[in-house]
Chain A
Amino acid sequence: MRTILTVDDSTSMRQMVRATLQSAGYGVVEAADGQEALDFARGNNVDLVITDVNMPRMDGIRLVSELRALPGYRLTPLLMLTTESSQEKKLEGKRAGATGWIVKPFNPSQLLSTLNRLFATP
């Protein structure tokens, strides 16, 4: 089973993402901010990360940058899921090493088809 780490400071958003991913058979691990996610990632590998941008303690762009520095996360798909839609922020995320950018609210079936595309890419 593939495992996905979801990072968001909103409990309800994490519940929505978890329900969507579990409906497609993914295992899900949750973190409430970038620091908690990074602490988890230092000792564990996952198949994909979905992270919000604006969070306390450590934001999503910094998290992506920190994850890319870990040997186990150099090739892991890292998706941003955020209300931010400015080109400036997207570019910042891309430079940090993000794989893609999804603007909230997400469409559950569209999220799953995006994951299928990413996992199908060799």
Chain B
Amino acid sequence: MSRDPTLPLPPLLELAAGQLEVALQSASSQVERLSNSVAAFARLGTEMSAHPDANIAALGARVSAEAQRAMFAMQFEDQLAQRLQHIAHALGDMHDALAAPTPPTAAALLAAIRARYTMEDERRLFDIMLGHLHGAPDANADSDHEATRGSVELF
């Protein structure tokens, strides 16, 4: 079945990118409120931990530990927001390419989209699915982002 030539691809791509941006912005304020609350719990835990009453101090240590776990988990929202931003930008790039009087080459478009990624698993997925189109390196050559999360390297 051939594609309907009247299918309005550029505006549809622009719409999809715009919807993602709106979703990200509306989620952002709520996430900030939540992270503010978690930070407040962390401060409370610290203050309670220093209390002269041993029971209150022990409770404070538990509050601090839970707040730390919540802070670690909440950072995945930051990663999710970045991933969605990269998708929105890729959709924008595709829209621009389709709408341009002189469209870029496929290789240039793919390279521009890949260059926006910041996480190894984004690059790996891109290379697995599209590497054959732009001669990307072997996807297995990249390190696994799961393995690098939280890693600390001092130079």
Contacts and interface: CB of A to CB of B under 8 A. Distances in A.
Whether chain B is bound by chain A comes out as yes
B55 interface: no
Interface in A45-79: 53-54
Interface in A76-122: 82-87, 90, 94, 98-111, 114, 117-118
A83 B34 CA distance: 21
Interface residues of A, number: 38
Given A16-B74, A54-B118, A85-B145, A104 B155 contact: no
A105 B75 contact: yes
Contacts of B79: 83, 104-105
B42 A104 contact: no
Contacts of B118: 53-54, 82-84
B143 interface: yes
Contacts of B45: 23
Given A10-B81, A12-B35, A105-B149, A85 B71 contact: no
B150 A117 contact: no
- Chain A CB within 10 Å — which of B42, B64, B67, B76 has the most? B42
Nearest to B120: A85
Contact of A13 (B42, B43, B75, B123): B75
B152 interface: yes
Q: Is the interface of B mostly helix, strand, loop or mixed?
A: helix
Interface string B70-99: 011111111101100000000000000000
Interface string A27-54: 0000000000000000000000000011
Contacts of A103: 145, 148-151
A106 B154 CA distance: 14
Interface string B121-155: 00100000000000000000011010011111111
Given A83-B82, A104-B78, 20 more contacts: A11-B35, A12-B32, A12-B34, A12-B35, A12-B74, A16-B38, A18-B39, A19-B38, A19-B42, A82-B118, A84-B118, A85-B120, A85-B149, A86-B142, A100-B152, A101-B153, A105-B72, A106-B75, A107-B72, A114-B152
8 contacts: A12-B35, A15-B32, A16-B39, A19-B67, A100-B152, A105-B75, A106-B72, A117-B154
- Lowest 9 A-B CB distances belong to which pairs? A105-B75, A19-B39, A12-B35, A85-B148, A100-B154, A19-B42, A23-B46, A108-B68, A15-B35
Interface of A: 10-13, 15-16, 18-20, 22-23, 53-54, 82-87, 90, 94, 98-111, 114, 117-118
